[in-house]
Amino acid sequence: MTEESYKRHLLPALSAQLEAGQTAGGATLEAFALLDDALRARATDVHLDPDREGYRIRLRIDGRMVDALRADTTQGGRLVNQFKVLAKLNPVPSLVTAEGGFRWSRDEGEEQIHLRVTAVHCITGEKLAIRFLAPPRTFDDIVELGIGEQGALGIRRWMDATGSMLLVAGPTGAGKTTTLYTLLGQLQLTDSHVVTLENPVEFSIPGINQIQVDLEHGLDFASGTRSLLRLDPDYVLIGEVRDRESAHAALSVTSSGRSLMGTLHSRDAVGVITSMRQLGLTDGEISANLGLVIAQRLVRRLCQHCREQAAPERSDCEWLEAIGQVPPALTWRAKGCPQCDGLGFRGRIGVFEIWQLAPEDHARILRHADESELRRSLLERGVDLMLADGLAKAEAGITSLREVFRMGAILSA
pLDDT recorded at residue 216: 84
3-state secondary structure of 169: strand
Phi, psi for residue 67 in degrees, rounded to 5? -70, 120
**85, burial (CB in 10 Å: exposed 0-12, middle 13-18, buried 19+):** middle
pTM listed for this prediction: 0.87
Residue 77 lies in a domain: yes
The rounded mean pLDDT for the chain is 89
User: Which residues share a beta bridge with 113?
Assistant: 104
Task: Please report the pLDDT score of residue 198 as a whole number.
Answer: 85
Residues in the chain with pLDDT values less than 50: 1-3, 5-6, 24-25
Task: Supply the pLDDT for residue 38.
Answer: 95
Share of the chain above pLDDT 90, in %: 59
Chain centroid to CA 263 = 11
Residue 367, domain member (yes or no): yes
| Residue 42, domain CATH | 3.30.450.90
Residues 336 and 291 in one domain: yes
Q: How many helices (H) and strands (E) does the chain have?
A: 15, 15
What's the total number of domains in the chain? Answer: 2
CA 105 – CA 240 distance, rounded (Å): 31
- pLDDT for 25 equals 44
Q: Are 45 and 170 in the same domain?
A: no
Query: What is the SS3 assignment for 31?
Result: helix
pLDDT at 134: 83
Residue 151 sits in the same domain as residue 206: yes
* Edge-first strand listing for the sheet containing 290-302: 209-212, 194-198, 235-240, 259-264, 165-169, 290-302, 345-356
Residues 93 and 168 in one domain: no
Domain termination site, one of 133, 167, 186: 133
The pLDDT, as a whole number, for residue 8 is: 52
DSSP string of 173-238, one letter each residue: TSSHHHHHHHHHHHHHTTT--EEEEESS--S--TT-EEEE-BGGGTB-HHHHHHHHHTT--SEEEE
Q: Give the per-residue pLDDT at 111.
A: 83
From 111, 133, 155, give the residue that closes a domain. 133
Instruction: Check if the beta carbon of residue 212 is closer than 8 Å to that of residue 171.
Output: no
- Show which of 133, 167, 198 is a domain's final residue: 133
Same domain flag for 125 and 192: no
Q: Are residues 63 and 99 in the same domain?
A: yes
* Same domain for 311 and 180: yes
Taking each helix axis from N to C end, the angle separating 29-40 and 12-20, rounded to the nearest 10 degrees, works out to 160
- Residue 412 confidence (pLDDT): 54
Domain boundaries, position 237? 142-406
**Is residue 345 in some structural domain?**
yes
